[in-house]
Amino acid sequence: MQVAHDFPSRVEELRSLREEVRRGPSEKATEAQHAKGKLTARERIELLLDEGSFNEVEPLRRHRATGFGLEDRKPYTDGVVTGWGTVYGSAVFVYAHDFRVFGGALGEAHAQKIHKIMDMALTAGAPIVSLNDGAGARIQEGVSALAGYGGIFQRSTRASGVVPQISVMLGPCAGGAAYAPALTDFVFMVRGTSQMFITGPDVVRAVTGEEISHDGLGGADVHAETSGVAHFVYDDEETCLEEVRYLLSLLPGNNRENPPSVEADDPVGRRCEALLDLVPADGSRAYDMREVITELVDDGDYLEIHERWATNIVVALARLGGRVVGVVASQPASLAGVLDIKASEKAARFVQMCDAFSIPLVTLVDVPGFLPGVSQEHDGIIRHGAKLLYAYCNATVPRISVTLRKAYGGAYIVMDSQSIGADLTFAWPTNEIAVMGAEGAANVIFRRRIAEAPDPEAMRARLVKEYRTELMHPYYAAERGLLDDVIDPTETRQVLIRSLDMLHSKHADLPLRKHGNPPQ
């Protein structure tokens, strides 16, 4: 490069260099990226951040590696664009792999840029978003590249629960690199272009003989429905990045701030008459709990997380009275709303995230128990169910639960009952809070009387009715102080908002300890 000697020339030289960096390696590489249905790193950043807010860090960074022809290929940015900007006016740090440069592969300089931006995010107390589209470690740089991933893992762990971390998968992510998004709070994927796996189809075929495609092994739908790795999946990058912006609008910048609140247009005192038709009084009839959430929250607007995984429980972020809340809700439309291994893990992770970022919890309960079965027991429902119990017991944010209908056995306790520390517990007059359903209880308690009766079925029906009248009427738990009140379903929204207003300044301290040892 020929260096100019007068000031205006040097400024023009800088402008030219910056334009070269902005364009990237070549028009051909950009066309190849677009041909795959993918945007470039800078195009993605422009969609993610508020217009004109991006401030790039180290755009002129180049690697210093030699060997395997690297000394002749030293592109600016080294395959990753890093910096900060704003989303709806709030600071956000971002790094984006540039697949046009070394396939987005991570080398030493590349990793150091990411380390720096992660350190800056933690220092500034702002979320960090990674736009992932890379081929893993840069093989030509050997162990230096692997060490770079180690630095990312360490920083991500240190930032966990301190600043929100969001991974957006926009291309391949294989091998050890897949652990970087796995350590973050949320993972977004785009259908058809993003995959994640530890070992690819070729290795799987060589080791196990199984034939499978890249998408079949680690595509977006697989991780949304089967593995639970992906929290959100979309058909295109534009929609995906717009939803990342929406998620960021519901999260605080860090764990020392409260989530952003807004003026609510939806009246606090709005009665929810539709609930009387949405929820059948008969506990054996199914309904969609998402319709209940829609009726309760501001303007019917909420962001469901893990929508397609463990569908027997719903977790979502929404607003009530303008304040962000985390909703955990049984889903009677799927497996009757029972708790199983996947549902317990899904809800536990969500409760921990909400607690880390000062998001109050609202739990809507209609749960018949834990899912019975040999596979559930052998696969560890005890320890997995304990994860949800631990998460609730450890949470210090405001916690309110509402029992709509059933709440049986251990599942009643686990779903944020008063006995494990819920601040306020309410129930509808259709509630049945008990050790088990009336039919099952009568069969256990009155087994001999039923067997010896001249008409066993008539005796069973009479004893079931007797048990329900004595121990399962809707005011039984309230009479014993295990509920704060039985409420009119149409008043649920206003009860929740007024309760959250009262609990807004809640402060609770946990015992002094290095950290807990949650069930694994």
Tell me how far apart the alpha carbons of residues 363 and 316 are, in angstroms, rounded to a whole number.
Answer: 11
Tokens for 453?
A: 């009766």
- Give the position of tokens 């070394």: 102
Helix (H), strand (E) at residue 166: strand 165-169
In 442-503, the DSSP E strands lie at 485-486
Integer Cα distance of 108 and 114 in angstroms: 10
How do 90-97 and 80-87 pair as beta strands? antiparallel
CA 385-388-390 angle, to 5 degrees, is 105
Cβ–Cβ under 8 Å, residues 310 and 329: no
Helix (H, G, I), strand (E, B) or coil at 407: strand
Q: Where are the alpha helices (DSSP H) in 53-125?
A: 108-124
C-alpha span between 7 and 84 (Å, rounded): 29
345 touches 379 (CB < 8 A): no
What distance in Å separates the CA atoms of residue 298 and residue 201, rounded to the nearest whole number?
45
Least Cα distance to 109 among 74, 69, 133 occurs for 74
- Measured CA to CA, the distance from residue 251 to residue 261 in angstroms comes to 10
Contact 313, 278 (CB under 8 A): no
State the Cα angle at 450 between 447 and 455, rounded to 5°. Answer: 165
Q: Which residues are catalytic?
A: 175-176, 410-411
Distance between CA atoms of residues 460 and 462, nearest Å: 5
- CB 229 within 8 Å of CB 187: yes
The enclosing H or E element of 201 equals helix 201-208
**What is the rounded distance in angstroms from the CA atom of residue 133 to the CA atom of residue 301?**
31
CB 361 within 8 A of CB 416: yes
Spatial neighbors of 427 by CB under 8 A, at least 6 apart, are 402, 403, 404, 433, 474, 477, 478, 483, 485, 486, 487
Round to whole Å and give the CA distance between 36 and 454. 75
Query: What DSSP designation does 176 have?
Result: G
Pairing state of beta strands 302-305 and 232-234?
unpaired
Q: Rounded CA gap, 63 and 76, in Å?
A: 8
